[in-house]
Amino acid sequence: MKLKYRIGLIVMILLLLCTGIFATTISDSLTSFTGNVGIGTSTPSNELDIVNADANYGIFVDQNGATNDTSAGIGVDNTGNDGLGFKVYSDHSNTAHELVKFHADNNGFDEEVVNIVNDGTGTGLSLDQNGNGKAFVIDSSATTAYTMAIDANSLTSGRGLNLQTQSSSFSGILASFFVDDASATGTVQQIRNDGTGNGLFIDQNGNGIGLNINSQSTGRSFSLDADGIISTEVAFIHTDNSASTGSSLRLINDGTGPVLNLEQTQDVEVIDFDGCTDAGTSHTTLAGSVKVQMPDGTTGYLNVYT
């Protein structure tokens, strides 16, 4: 009986000691360790090496505590080194899933899904698309909010958006805006400028057309409304080269309507040639006339002599 009692006492003491050791190990932090730790591998080559061969998460963090700008479910502090702080790499011919996915699965979530803050002069986000695929795609189901917004409120001499190609074989479209629904009534592109600079500036240096409008509409193809009080021209066309031999303006009409329709609602000149020097003419042969109707119903003619 004494021997059995002593053996039972020893087993109980060992159980208590083991329970205390395990409890201390779980609750305390491991402050010093030399070597690599492997999970799923017996030959770890990194400080923490995880090999996941099943369909579950390799690392799963269930963050239930409150976080802020200095805490998170997973934190990476790269202050002590100039290398990569976080890297995701794949050499797999994957055709089924994303390499990285962020999903906010709650329609009440009103914060940024991904927030990138860059206080330096480097690029905030760089996409190096080497394959023949789309570098950037936005699939938005929003109805009234912006699909993409760029706020450059501190911009001085830079550019809010820059699209550039240096491909000598380029024959496509650098920027395309396409509303693919015949029942849509919205504006495809709107430019608003509250400043004194150009609303739209086209610097055509190549031997091509600076502005080309191909319209299949039965209405107006081009409309210019100047609602403000102006003291200069509403439209200005200037051939600024004395060696030029082409026309500054050419109108061709294959239909049955007028080539040019001038409507003057005020009792002033319909066509003003004051910009030309009036040196008189000795030509008296009438070559043609342009009929002009004034607001009061009277009709005049602009004669051309040879």
Give the start-to-end residue ranges of the domains of the chain. 282-306
Percent of the chain residues past pLDDT 70, beyond the cut: 83
Q: Which helix (H) or strand (E) holds 48?
A: strand 48-50
**Cα separation of 125 and 117, whole Å?**
10
DSSP 107: T
**Cα separation of 88 and 25, whole Å?**
32
What per-residue confidence (pLDDT) applies to 269?
A: 65
- Buried (b) or exposed (e) across 43-58, using 16+ Cβ within 10 A? ebeeeeeeeeeeeeee
Q: Structure tokens of 254?
A: 């294959």
What phi and psi values does residue 15 have, to the nearest 5 degrees? Answer: -65, -40
Burial class of residue 60 in the structure, from the number of CB atoms within 10 Å of its CB (0-12 exposed, 13-18 middle, 19+ buried): exposed
**Cα separation of 17 and 12, whole Å?**
9
Residues 6+ apart with CB under 8 A from 17: none
Residues 32-91: pLDDT tens digits? 667 888 888 999 898 889 999 888 888 898 888 876 777 788 888 889 888 899 999 999
CB 303 within 8 A of CB 284: no
For residue 300, what are the β-bridge partners? 292
Instruction: Enumerate long-range contacts of 267-270, CB under 8 Å, 24 or more apart.
Output: 267/294, 267/295, 267/296, 270/294
**Cα separation of 137 and 298, whole Å?**
61
What per-residue confidence (pLDDT) applies to 22?
A: 43
pTM of the model: 0.69
CB 205 within 8 A of CB 215: no
CB 194 within 8 A of CB 182: no
**From 24-33, 81-90, 103-112, 159-168, the region with the lowest mean pLDDT:** 24-33
**Cα separation of 304 and 306, whole Å?**
7
H-type alpha helices, 67-173: none
What phi and psi values does residue 139 have, to the nearest 5 degrees? Answer: -110, 100
For residue 37, what are the β-bridge partners? 48
Q: Which helix (H) or strand (E) holds 305?
A: strand 299-305
Residues 190-225: pLDDT tens digits? 999 999 999 999 999 999 999 999 999 998 889 988
